[in-house]
Structure 1
């Protein structure tokens, strides 16, 4: 598969099928660098979608599978931007503290304007959104779907 910018394209294989994400280093350079670093280390491989809310979003990236953890790397400073949260937006999850994003992220099923400028948008699904739509719902999810593998396209 040929990608326009393989260095800034994520290929995520999920239990529901492939999802291709265009990375946006122009919006959030530090968050994109972290996602690429973790993907390159295989951090996301096998991690479950632990919080999936119909009509809202699917969240993933906790190594414990319950939303309480992150990678061993330091938390990131917020890179809030003007990019709106729309269907297919990839944005970082965080705790109350704006500078607490680490490895967890979510993909919006629908437009979520109430998140705008409160969470760091770092990417957009460009292929496979129909697979994201199939991810099993729940909080927590019983028998959740997962990321089988996630790699930067240039590393494939």
Structure 2
């Protein structure tokens, strides 16, 4: 499932709980890991490769990251999916998060890669959110002093180290 616009912002604000910074109340780490491992297996199959993963995440609002290597994509560049600890949110980036704006991303990523990624995410019940809006200044309920960086963003709130 993909979400953007008003629905995206409503969901981000709904998930924002100042009492639970790194993961929501009741977060089931083992279930999240099984869900992520299933995603990686689907990517490996869909792209006929072995994707790189980063599963050793601590002190962060995201759970893990998987990279589809450039040589397995029609795009010819790495495709990175980062999975949040919140609301089954996932984000797709070209090469590295923050490297491209939405217009560049849309122009560079091959539609066949998008189709495969969308299908894999949908099968895992992830909600794909666009990356670019997440770089907007954070104006949620968590005090700005909690964030390590001087300019907190929605990206940091749900997809980065705190």
TM, length-normalised to structure 1: 0.31
Report which of the two has the higher share of helix: 2
Report which of the two has the higher share of strand: 1
The structure with higher relative contact order (CA 8 Å, sep 6+) is: 1
